[in-house]
A = this chain, B = another copy of it.
Amino acid sequence: MEMSPIATAILKVIRRSRKPLSKADLVKMTSFSLATVNEHTEFLLRSELVVETERGPSTGGRKPILLTFNAELGFIVAIDLESTHVRVGIVDLNSRILTSESSKDIDVSLGPSAVLEKIKAIVYKLMEQLGVTSHQIKGIGMGVPGPVRYSAGITTSLAIMPGWENYEVNQFWSRHFDCPCFVDNNVHTMALAEQAVNADSEHANIIYVKIGNGIGASIICNGRLYRGSTEYAGGIGHINIGHDKLCYCGNRGCLEADAGGRAIAARAEHLAQSGQSEFLRRLLEEKNKLTLADVRKAVVESDPVAVELMRECGNVIGDVLAGLVNFFNPSLVYIGGAVSGVGDVLLASIRQSIYQHSLPLATRSLAIQHLSLGESAGLIGAGMLAAEEIIYGHDVIKRIASVQNIAGER
């Protein structure tokens, strides 16, 4: 028993709508006939993918039945893995977070087995708290801090993630859960979440930039996530900007070796040791090591050396983005990730460089702004990724709908 393309199209309209829809609404929004809408909504109601809500206002006769997507039909495990912390959540089929937990007791460089076992323990804990059995988990969505062969569910890894090269993350989860698993670079999951929040926007061509320890981008082209020919699109962290620092990838001159979070912390330590910043020097003395959080502290306290450091990084990142704006001509550039939270000076200097080094023709109507979702974007996006793949996948009826109500019919 498979969903027909027409039922899927109607389901998409119902799911995307911010309010419950009548059949008359659906006729208007899909251009299908009322008979077609009747036939397929009946199917969707029996499958429980769609449920009736309160009746709408009467337009003379009986109040019309209103339909809405049944986001409670199943649960999704959402995982947002960063290099030194993880967020895990149980979400509904709209990726609304039902419960979640963060852990900093994680380090991707320890390899996939150790990391995934820890995450699994958190997943089981959250399931128990929520009273959810593994049978009710319909899918797993996971973001990882590096490139992924998405179609295969395999991390392709850079040196930042030793042991993850060609690791079949989806195979790990399928040993523990009888549901599909979808693994993606977490810059893409972040972008998916933002796209969903801004679904009504008219921006069709967008570059999402995530500046964390690494720097990556996600490309929305004609309204859809663009993955590239070998699913590596957006790998801007290793664009050569001409400096001579060695990057962990083996090349010299990579963007993230100069302006990524790890590089910023290292540069701050250098500024502390050389005594250029008294503020950073004192912090280093206290803690023996500086992190991005320390740089943020210094920026908040208006330490001029730290502010200048962030301005430099913003300019460097902005110069690279200026080139990409000339090339791709987006209408929006979104800036997110941990480094973007350090202070407004970064965004300001990124903007300055883009407007300086892109042609006016390309920036005529370009907006450059912070992400609207906060830290949970990656988690929500991971849940959304899995939910969409399952709901619009060919075996949705088998996977999550109430088979017993439909089997044998039609």
Contacts and interface: CB of A to CB of B under 8 A. Distances in A.
A263 to B, nearest CB: 17
B327 A230 contact: no
Nearest to A204: B229
A238 B359 contact: yes
A230 B359 contact: no
Contacts of A221: 221-222, 226
Interface stretch (A31-39, A61-69, A191-199, A318-326): A318-326
Contacts of A239: 322-323, 326-327, 357
A253 to B, nearest CB: 8
A121 interface: no
A5 to B, nearest CB: 13
A362 B230 contact: yes
A193 to B, nearest CB: 21
Contact of A242 (B242, B324, B331): B242
Contacts of A358: 238
Q: Which of A158, A227, A327 has the most CB of B within 10 A?
A: A327
A319 B240 contact: yes
B240 A322 contact: yes
Contacts of A147: 361
A235 B326 contact: yes
Interface string A216-231: 0101011000111111
A143 interface: no
Contacts of A240: 319, 322-323, 357
A330 interface: yes
A222 B226 contact: yes
Contact of A323 (B228, B323, B356): B323
A323 B251 CA distance: 13
A352 interface: no
A328 interface: yes
B359 A235 contact: yes
A365 interface: yes
A177 to B, nearest CB: 29
B230 A364 contact: yes
Interface of A: 147, 156, 158, 203-205, 217, 219, 221-222, 226-236, 238-240, 242, 249, 251, 253, 319-320, 322-324, 326-331, 356-359, 361-362, 364-366
Pick the 9 closest A-B CB pairs, nearest first. Answer: A228-B329, A229-B331, A233-B329, A239-B323, A240-B357, A232-B329, A235-B326, A232-B361, A232-B362
Given A232-B361, A238-B358, 11 more contacts: A158-B359, A204-B229, A217-B327, A221-B221, A235-B327, A235-B359, A235-B362, A236-B323, A238-B326, A239-B322, A328-B328
19 contacts: A204-B229, A217-B327, A221-B226, A222-B222, A228-B329, A228-B330, A230-B364, A231-B329, A232-B329, A232-B359, A233-B327, A234-B327, A235-B362, A238-B358, A239-B322, A239-B357, A323-B324, A324-B324, A324-B327
